[in-house]
Amino acid sequence: MLERTITKTLEAWSKSSRRKALMLTGARQTGKTTVVRDFARRRYERFAELNFLTDPHAGDIFSGPLDANTIVANLTAYLRQPLEPGNTLVLLDEVQECPRARTAIKFLVEDGRFDYVETGSLLGVRTADVESYPVGFEERHRMYPMDFMEFCRACGVQQTTFDLLRDRFECRKPVNGTIHETMMRLFSAYMVVGGMPEIVQRYVDTHDIAQVVQLQRDILALYRLDIAKYADRADRTKIRAIFDAVPSQLNDRNRRFVLADLGKNARHNRYASSFLWLADAGVALPCYNVEAPVPPLPASRKRSLFKLFMGDTGLLCAQALENVQVPILQGDLDVNMGEITENAIAQELVAHGFPTYYFDSKRYGEVDFVVQSGTRALPIEVKSGNDWTRHHALSKIMSVPEWHLDQAYVLCKGNVEQSGPITYLPLYMSMFLEPEHLPDSLPFTVDLSALNNPE
């Protein structure tokens, strides 16, 4: 069983005294169902699973009244198995296929007999089908393909290695040469294999890249079928055109998605819903340009200027159809591989909780990523070649006084090095980049004593 970080989220949810239904969203084939099954096996005495995609009759449970007693009676009759109150997990898999099940969650959570997990691959694109959302009764989490650390664990990397690398990251000290070279080779393998669990498992079992690529092409075909099945008829052609254009658009020098390449009459207002469809489905990762690299970044994003990354870099390699896998595995991350390396970093940043932005202006040039951690903006440059100390745009924006940028990262093939406010990190150390979070407890009290003695 592949170890997934999301399991910690499931554990914390199951221990909560005020449990809502847990909603796991994300692209197809990211391992949502497998994670829930494994968690239920270890945590609950009873486990019930309904898959509304593979079993269309499962939706009949919710076809009548949606009160808890009726639904539970229908559920137990349909499953023909006893369900123990207080120790049963019910999985509503591919719940987007049964909108009334979403509506029923409110009543089932209030009833409290069982715990509920919902999973859905296309929830973001099928919102109009739900009669009434269970607002306040769902705890939502997005699940992504396996990140690089999860991939390394699957390949057999031990915790002691992660501890050593994190120490080098935090102390800004170089990594031992042999370890560094091994981790760089692992990162190259990750870019080719990607993070889809079935594909990672096949790679771990066989180390056969040909089998990996075939599985990747199967998933790409599934995504195209989803577009044909779930997208509005008026948008299908546009969504498919955008999806197929991602590799060539990223291969462009500035990586920015240029609508004119899709057709001379293509305009952002006509294609906006199509881009959102791919993002909501978890297939693509939009990265918007910002007017200035200062927080709050969402306030200055330009909706019509963006880069569009694939949700999984392995799928990008397979979609490119240029046999890019061999040079990547040989460590040849030259400028022609820049878009794949940048996609891998985008995938890492998003999986770790960073909304991604980039900065580009005629005056300063382009910086690959700008992310926000707490109240700070962090510029990040990605270098796939051997010239990682050359970053004119990054140097320029770091010297703008009013932007108060006191730290930046350059992710590259080199080892750890500190040069003023710029930290050079090996590409694989992107696994340690995480946003600053609020503490679990943040008590705050206003002293009202002055109001009791007005003058």
pLDDT digit string (tens) for 112-143? 999 999 998 876 555 546 666 677 899 999 99
Q: Are residues 62 and 193 in the same domain?
A: no
pLDDT at 209: 95
402-407 long-range contacts (CB < 8 A, ≥24 apart) are 403/292, 403/293, 403/294, 403/377, 404/294, 405/293, 405/377, 405/379, 406/376, 407/376, 407/378
Q: Do 279 and 355 belong together in one domain?
A: yes
Residue 191: predicted pLDDT: 96
Please report the pLDDT score of residue 368 as a whole number: 96
The token pair at 384 is 């796939």
The CATH number covering residue 54 comes to 3.40.50.300
In this predicted structure, what is the pLDDT of residue 379? Answer: 98
The secondary structure of the chain in percent helix, strand, coil, rounded to multiples of 5, reads: 50, 15, 35
pLDDT at 261: 53
Domain assignment of residue 428, yes or no: yes
**For strand 301-310 and strand 422-426, is the pairing parallel, antiparallel, or unpaired?**
unpaired
| Positions of the chain with pLDDT lower than 50, given as ranges | 128, 335
Is the domain of 173 the same as that of 66? no
- pLDDT value of position 40: 96
| 302 and 288 within one domain | yes
Residue 325's pLDDT is what? 86
The total number of structural domains in the chain stands at 2
Confirm whether 443 is domain-assigned: no
Clarify whether residues 330 and 254 are in a common domain.
yes
Tell me: the pLDDT tens digits for 340-384?
999 999 999 999 999 999 999 999 999 999 999 999 999 999 999
- Is residue 455 included in any domain, yes or no? no
Count CA atoms closer than 13 A to 315's CA, side-chain side.
Answer: 29
Q: What angle do CA 391, 297, 293 make, to 5 degrees?
A: 30
Residues 379 and 345 in one domain: yes
pTM: 0.91
Residues 114 and 158 reside in one and the same domain: no
Residues spanned by the domain of 216: 148-432
* Whether residue 106 is found in the same domain as residue 182: no
> How far is it, in rounded angstroms, from Cα 58 to Cα 291?
49
Specify which residues 424 forms β-bridges with: 410, 417
Q: Please indicate, yes or no, whether residues 220 and 295 belong to a single structural domain of this protein.
A: yes
Tokens 């919710």 correspond to: 62
315 shares its domain with 388: yes
Q: Which amino acid is at 373?
A: S
Note whether residue 157 is domain-resident: yes
Tell me what pLDDT residue 17 has. 82
Q: Report yes or no on 442 lying in a domain.
A: no
Helix (H) or strand (E) holding 118, with range, is strand 115-120
In a domain, 178, yes or no: yes
Identify the pLDDT of residue 176. Answer: 97
